[in-house]
Chains A and B, each alone.
Chain A
Amino acid sequence: MVSTIRVRATSSGETTEVQALIQHPMDSGFVKDTKGEIIPPHFIRELTFEHDGKNVFVADWGAAVSKDPYVKFSFKGGKKGDDLKISWVDNKGATDTTTAKIQ
C-alpha cells in the first residue's frame, strides 16, 4: 500500500528541516454530507517524528487541523542518510508509519 505520509527532511549541517504532508480526511464531526447527515469525526490525534531513537517532535491534533494535514519543524542534529521515523494514530485507531531518509 502506498504510504499516507510524505516527508521531506533536509539537513543543513547543524539542523534538519522536516516537512510532512499526510493524506487524511480530518473530518471534524461538524460537517453534514449531501443528505444532511453529520459526517462522524475522523481525524489524526497523534503524529510523532523519531530520530536516533528519540522523539524529536510530537503533534497532538484535534479535528480543527485541515484535511491532508501539513506540518513543518526543525531540529538540531540529523545527518544526510539518517532515518526519520514518522507515525500517526487517528481517533478510530487506524495508524500508519513510514521511515524517510534525511537528505
Chain B
Amino acid sequence: MTTPHDGFPATRRLILQGAATVALVGLGNVPFGLAAAFAAANDKYPEDAFKAKSEADAIKSLYGKTAEPSDKVKLDAPEIAENGAVVPISVSTTLTEVTSISFLVSENPNALAASYKIPAGTMPSVANRLKMAKTSNVIAIVEAGGKLYSATKEVKVTVGGCGG
C-alpha cells in the first residue's frame, strides 16, 4: 500500500505532470456535453498537485506558473483558530475573468487543500472549512485572465487538526 507520504520517482512525476497539463489544455478548448463533463471531471482531478508537499510545488503542479501577491484578492480567515480541524476560510476578489480559486496551507503535510473551478457566470467568491495541522500561512490563489494572484494570511492554531 502506498501512503500520501510516498513521493514518486522524479521521472514518473514529470510524466504525470506533463500528461495533466496536456489534459487541462485540451479540455479547456473543447465545449463538452454532460456525459463527457462527468468523465472529464474525473480525469482532471489534480492528483499530483494534492500530493505535493510545499505550496510552491503544489502551485507549480496545478498551474505551471507562479503567483504574484495582489490586494484585489481578499482572504478571510481567523487570526486564531482554536480548533485546527475546522478553520473557516473564504476568498473573494474584484478581479475579472476568474477561472479558478485555490486554497493552500503551508505547514500541512500536503500544502494544497482545495481547488475550485469557476466557470463563466459564477461569482469569484468561495467559502469553505479546512484542516490545519498547526500555525501556518494560508494562501489563496486566484487565477484570472490566465494569471495568478495571491493573498496570504497567518492563522494561529492552538489545537492542530491533522495530528494523532
Q: In the complex, are the beta carbons of A56 and B119 less than 8 A apart?
A: yes
Q: In the complex, are the beta carbons of A75 and B122 less than 8 A apart?
A: yes
Q: Knowing A58-B116, A64-B114, A65-B114, say if A73 contacts B131 (CB, 8 Å).
A: no
Query: Please, which residues of chain A bring their CB within 8 A of the CB of B42?
Result: 46, 89
Q: In the complex, are the beta carbons of A76 and B113 less than 8 A apart?
A: no
Q: Knowing A46-B45, A48-B41, say if A65 contacts B116 (CB, 8 Å).
A: no
Query: Please, which residues of chain B bring their CB within 8 A of the CB of A62?
Result: 50, 110, 112-114
Distance between Cα atoms of A31 and B114 in the complex (Å): 19
Shortest Cβ gap from B19 to chain A (Å): 16
Q: What residue of chain B has the Cβ atom nearest to residue A36's Cβ?
A: B164
B1-26 residues at the A interface, CB under 8 angstroms: 3-4
Interface assignment of A72: CB less than 8 Å from any CB of chain B: yes
A-B contact count (CB 8 A): 122
Distance between Cα atoms of A72 and B163 in the complex (Å): 27
Shortest Cβ gap from B82 to chain A (Å): 14
Distance between Cα atoms of A31 and B44 in the complex (Å): 27
Q: In the complex, are the beta carbons of A30 and B45 less than 8 A apart?
A: no
Q: In the complex, are the beta carbons of B121 and A60 less than 8 A apart?
A: no
Interface assignment of B87: CB less than 8 Å from any CB of chain A: yes
Known: A30-B164, A65-B114, A75-B123. 20 other contacts (CB 8 A): A30-B4, A31-B162, A31-B163, A36-B164, A46-B42, A58-B116, A60-B114, A60-B116, A62-B113, A64-B105, A64-B108, A64-B110, A64-B114, A64-B162, A66-B86, A71-B127, A73-B125, A74-B123, A75-B122, A89-B42
* Contact surface of A with B, Cβ cutoff 8 Å: 15, 26, 28-32, 36, 38, 41, 45-46, 48, 50, 53-67, 69-77, 89
The 8 closest A-B pairs by CB, nearest first: A32-B164, A64-B113, A72-B127, A58-B117, A66-B129, A62-B50, A75-B122, A74-B123
